[in-house]
Amino acid sequence: MKILSSISMIALGVTLIGCGSGGGGGDSSASNPPSQVPTKTEPQLPTTPPTSQVESEWKAKIREAKLIRIDHETLRLSDDVAFPSQIFNMADEKLGKLEQELGRNWVLKAYNLPYSAVGYVLPADVSTDEYGRVIDSRANNYMAEVVGARTEILPKGSAYYEGVSFGANSEGKLKLSINFSDKTISGSVTDRKLLSTKEALADISLKEANISAVGEHHFSGVAESQGIQGSYYGSFFGPNAEEVGGIIRDDAGNKYEGFSGTK
């Protein structure tokens, strides 16, 4: 999808141990995305370690589910240079946005909530175009996934979630409306902008989709921007679906932005 084009959330051998799976990459062109300049501020989250805020019986599940492992055998900078192996437990990290240097000018960028996290790995000086797409020869493969303690039994009734979306050089505001009784979800990503220039990007509509308690993800549906369609998918996290996290793909199936939100 031109506007929903790949953010190249780079994995290059990152394995996330939890509730997600990796994906492919590639470039796609983008259409002009006029919209108003964002004025809303990002929701403020506490900065204490997330395991101090969760129910005690879920702490062990969280520590097992929120591991990010970088494998030196698969993350190679060249034929003869491998990336050092590293493991991050997001249960020990502060909540909200975080950035961790990995060495050799690479960074882990993530958005962390008590029960879940979404993140990716990329060069610290990654090159992007005017739409936030990665145009960097070092980023031929990528990953953007959610890890966390997934909700085992979905609740009843309705819920409204707010949060953030973010890419290599973009961010926006997430809004989701959930009807657990009817098993439907819909929403939008608005107030999008480039991080580097603050230039506005077009909104993304997350079309109504079905929710299921079984399967790899709790939901998947159509993401649309300016008439061009991609897709989105995600899951709920916590004992009572306190959190939601997922990924938006472009029309070529490339991962474009991650999103994370709370009730």
- Per the listing, tokens 């964002």 go with 38
* Alpha carbon of residue 140 to chain centroid: 19
- Rounded to an integer, what distance in angstroms lies between the CA atom of residue 147 and that of residue 93? 14
Cα–Cα distance, 248 to 171 (Å, whole number): 12
Given this model, what pLDDT does residue 31 score? 44
CA–CA distance, 121 with 235 (Å, rounded to integer) = 21
Residues 6+ apart with CB under 8 A from 211: 154, 178, 180, 183, 184, 185, 218, 219
Spatial distance between the Cα atoms of 129 and 239, rounded to a whole number of angstroms: 40
SS3 assignment, position 56: helix
Whole-structure pTM over 0.75, yes or no?
Answer: yes
Domains recognised in the chain with CATH numbers: 14-262 (2.40.160.90)
Asked if residues 256 and 132 have their Cβ atoms less than 8 Å apart, the reply is no
Rg (CA), the chain: 17
DSSP state of 85: P
> What's the pLDDT score for residue 107?
83
pLDDT along the chain (263 residues), means of 10: 44 39 40 44 49 73 83 53 72 90 83 93 82 74 78 95 92 98 98 95 97 91 92 96 93 84 97
* Cβ neighbours for 114, distance < 8 A, ≥ 6 positions apart: 50, 51, 53, 54, 62, 95, 238, 242, 243
Question: At 106, which helix (H) or strand (E)?
Answer: strand 106-112
